[in-house]
Amino acid sequence: MQNLKKLFYSALTCTFLLNANLPANSTGREVKVYSGRHYNSDKEVFKNFEEETGIKVRLIETAGITLLERLKREGKNSQADLILLVDAARITNAAQAGLLQSVESESLEKNVPIGLKDERKQWYALTRRVRVMVANEKKLAKAGIDVNDIKDYTDLAKPEFKGLVCLRNRKSPYNQSLVANQIVNKGESKTKAWLSGMISNLSQPEFGGDISIIRAVAKKKCGIGIVNHYYVARMMAGENGKWAAKDAKRTVVITPNPAHVNISAGGVAKYAKNKSEAIKLLEYLASPNGSKGLAAPTFEHPLKEVNQNPIVRNFGEFTPDKVTVEDLGVKNSLAIKLMKNAGWN
């Protein structure tokens, strides 16, 4: 009898602890999110969703490529309901690998612009990122280059940029998508020529991340590099420390117009056990308030607006080119092949 009492109170205690973290209006429903986004500010958006709907968000964060490998390994036993990934290549690869399922949602169709969603309705963009160039005006001036004359990514293949260019490595999905973008825009032949010229202009071996490139440009180790806009903005805002902020402010941001725009996106997992809850969260994240909630603190752009942070606004207006995210996914394999053949390590 004593043992039964202990079991009863143990079960009661476990139930209390499990429910202690649920929102006040909890319905007992939940959604499990596997996320390749790694921003603490996302948790505030999830918290708002919980308060509005009573649906608990269970979050697991990991690097994008690791996340995809985990989903493949788990198969039908996966606990994932909603998958969030950064970059066009990763979300389209997830769809091609059969990790997502199609959903029907008037809200998603209304809130996500054409070109930023899957025709099969398996994924939808949530935020936008612009691939920009960062330059050291003084270093380029010594080489006889005026930063105001730099208009496009293809300029970096010109002979006058010899020994001035810095790039992130070939593994970067952001660079893969940029090359895929050029293939769609300019064709395979012109993309090959651009890659050959740009790689021959490298000042040093490829970098492991965008922040390292920004620092190298600031310290005149490079004259110019290609990075995602929000990395520069975060550094300027002091999120990487005061010295990083000083470095970033020594650079000039050049936004091509039209510009290559990438995304972070979400899709419902193929074996989602809480499908309706997953769709509801995806709809929330893609809504004007949800997209802005994700984008504003990370210096990304929401789906239909420009980030209003003064730092980002100073980067200048941009017009997205007409290449769709699906186009980027289709050309990803060819992009990697051309990069490798050009000597992009």
Chain centre distance of CA 19: 33
Same-domain pairing of 55 and 190: no
Same-domain pairing of 221 and 282: no
pLDDT at 312 over 90: yes
Let me know if residue 244 belongs to a domain: yes
Same-domain pairing of 140 and 239: yes
The count of domains in the chain is: 2
The CATH number for 113's domain is 3.40.190.10
Q: Is the dihedral of CA 277, 283, 288, 294 positive or negative?
A: positive
Mean pLDDT score of the chain: 91
State which residues form the domain around 7: 2-128+262-298
SS3 content of the chain, % helix, strand, coil (to 5): 50, 15, 35
Q: Which residues contact 20 (CB under 8 A, 6 or more apart)?
A: none
Segment 289-316 shows an average pLDDT of 95
Instruction: Give the C-alpha separation, 227 to 130, whole Å.
Output: 8
Instruction: Give the C-alpha separation, 285 to 126, whole Å.
Output: 6
pLDDT at 5 over 50: no
pTM of the model: 0.89
Most confident among 25-29, 156-160, 319-323 (mean pLDDT): 156-160
Segment 163-190 shows an average pLDDT of 97
pLDDT band per the 50, 70, 90 thresholds, residue 317: confident
Structure tokens of 273?
């056990």
pLDDT digits (tens, 9 = 90+) for 35-46: 999 899 999 999
Same-domain pairing of 239 and 135: yes
pLDDT at 1 over 90: no
pLDDT of residue 26: 55
pLDDT digits (tens, 9 = 90+) for 38-89: 899 999 999 999 999 999 999 998 776 789 999 999 999 999 999 999 999 8
pLDDT digits (tens, 9 = 90+) for 215-230: 999 999 999 999 999 9
Let me know if residue 203 belongs to a domain: yes
Q: Which residue has the tokens 């269970």?
A: 58
φ/ψ (deg, to 5) at 92: -70, -35
Q: How far is CA 11 from CA 5, 8, 14, 115, in A?
A: 10, 5, 5, 51
Same-domain pairing of 111 and 146: no
Instruction: Give the C-alpha separation, 32 to 28, whole Å.
Output: 13
